[in-house]
Amino acid sequence: MLEALSYRVKVPLNISLVILTTVVIITLTLLGYSYRQIDREMLHSGESLGRVLAKGVSAAMLRDDLWSVWDTIRSPTDVALDEALRPDVVTVIDGTERVFASTVPTRFRVLSRPSEVDARYAGLPAWRDDGTQPETTHLWIDSDSLLVLAPVLVDGSLIGTVLLEYRRPAFLDRFGGALGQVALITALILLLMLPVGWWMGLRVARPLQELAALMDRIGSEHPNRLRESLEPAAPAGGDEINRLRVHFHQMLGQLAEKESLEGQMVRADRLAALGRLTAGIAHEINNPLGGMLNALSNHRRRGASDPATERTLSLLDRGLNQIRDIVAALLVEARLQSHDLSPEDLADVETLVRSDTSSRGVMVDWAVEVRRTLPLPSTPVRQVLMNLALNAVEAAGEGGRVRIRVTAEAGALLVSVCNDGRHISAQQMEQLFEPFSPGEASGEGTGLGLWVSYQIVQQMEGQIDVRSDVTETCFTVRLPLRFGGGGT
């Protein structure tokens, strides 16, 4: 049952329990100690009182004055003594060990023998008249009753004995009040400590609750967003909760990465399938299309037709050519057999792009760090760079900035094209490289630029990535220097 409780409750509950246990143990120890002290106090007080009474009754006993003896021995039971130190019964026995007087005369009748009335009195030590002075003594007549014996001496000779019976008070009788007080103080301490416990419970539970809440959200929300809402972890080497936090933070990162990879793979699969589909369709269309265009051309070569037929044929010719262009655009066949990429090829692209941008008021930051000819087919590379650059200029819009970097590193050409225009939403991102994608700036182009670029890069076994946030959208292309141009 306790296991099901939140730490917010468990911690203060445990603190209260610890306080309660501590108080109870300390209280019982102290009370137990002072309870054991009672025996000593009883004995001490009993022996003093016994001596006083023995002296007080001696003259009256000598006079055989029963009343005076009785009046003397009952005074301690009348006077308000500490209850524990008040004798229960005081009895005076004479030299023949018969009762002279007792404060409980109905039990210890005058002249009766105490041992016959009360079996506990049977084992009283007899004073021996052997010349030694009898001393005040005591014995336990049962587990809770102490009997103090004080000799009554007149001129050194024994004429009787004062017997004081003490009953050890029951623990509760003695300390019932103290226990009540302890309970009250404990309640007060708990009342003070509970808010502290509550606060500590909150302190312990808050990071755990936070983590638990985040865990509950996994699956329904993107790990990166969860990761952002997790406060930056304290320096490593903290307590367990902190370590948990650090690991959870890392785990969310890995989860995000995994999800992103999965997304990429799904997109790549889709684009590949789309590529195969469009290529298949294009081939199937190209065959009849070629036949139709040939038939049209032959017809024209055979001679003129009447004007009306000529207009129709012209219409068909234009339409068929448009179909061929679109199919050609869809059917991306990177012409890998072209001359190696030289710095001049890249400079040509810059010239073409700048001619287009100057009129649009877009600032282009072009940085090409390629100083030598690279073993890459120049035509597809130029096509990809051109597409990306023109798209960026389009996206940047009036007054925008475009940043283009082309660098060669060991085994690969890196191209990065960034613009500060509208950023691409996550939804658009999903279909970005698909033909006629809504994400592509389709103001002027055919809507196939990115599709073509993607296909080319794929065919060159490279990678193309896009990253977009509010400040910048960047396309990065990595082409392995594996495809030697081969041509001149």
Partner 1 sequence: MVFLFVGLIIVGNLHADERPIRIGLTPVILEDQLRFLESWRRYLEQELGREVQFLRRNSYGEIVDLALRGQVDFAWLCGFPYVRNEGALDLLAAPVFKGAPRYQSYLIVPASDTETRDLMDLEGGIFAFSDPNSNSGWLYPEAVLRRHATSAERHFERTFYTWGHRRVIEAVAHGLAEGGAVDGYVWETLARVEPELTGRTRIVNRSDAFGFPPVVATPAADPATRQAVLEVLLSMDESERGRQLLEALNLDGFQQVEPELYDSIRRLSREVVQ
**Binding footprint of partner 1 on the chain (CB under 8 A):** 64-67, 70-71, 101, 105-106, 109-111
Closer by beta carbon to partner 1, 78 or else 284:
78
Instruction: Name the minimum Å distance from CB 97 to partner 1.
Output: 16
CA–CA distance, 61 with 81 (Å, rounded to integer): 26
Q: Which residues contact 57 (CB under 8 A, 6 or more apart)?
A: 68, 69, 72, 73, 92, 152, 160, 162
CB of 78 to partner 1, least distance (A): 11
> If DSSP codes are grouped into helix, strand and coil, which group holds residue 350?
helix
SS3 of 419, please?
strand
Least CB distance to partner 1 at residue 93 (A): 14
Least distance to partner 1 from the beta carbon of 104, Å?
Answer: 8
How does strand 340-341 pair with strand 157-167? Answer: unpaired
Beta carbon nearer to partner 1, 53 or 362 = 53
Give whichever of 71 and 356 is closer to partner 1, judged by the CB atom. 71
What does the alpha-carbon distance between residue 353 and residue 390 come to, in Å, rounded to a whole number? 7
Question: Between 65 and 430, whose beta carbon lies closer to partner 1?
Answer: 65
User: Between β-strands 401-409 and 363-369, what pairing exists: parallel, antiparallel or unpaired?
Assistant: parallel
Kindly tell me which of 66 and 85 has the beta carbon lying closer to partner 1.
66
Angle, alpha carbons 289-292-294 (nearest 5°): 110
Q: How far apart are CA 5 and CA 311, in angstroms?
A: 87
If the CB atoms of residues 101 and 148 are measured against partner 1, the closer one turns out to be: 101
DSSP one-letter code for 120: G
Q: How far is the CB of 74 from partner 1 (least distance, A)?
A: 8
Whole-number Å distance between alpha carbons of 350 and 370: 13
Report the alpha-carbon distance of residue 311 to residue 253 in Å, rounded.
65
| Nearest distance from C-beta of residue 60 to partner 1, angstroms | 11
* Interatomic CA distance for residues 9 and 202, integer angstroms: 9
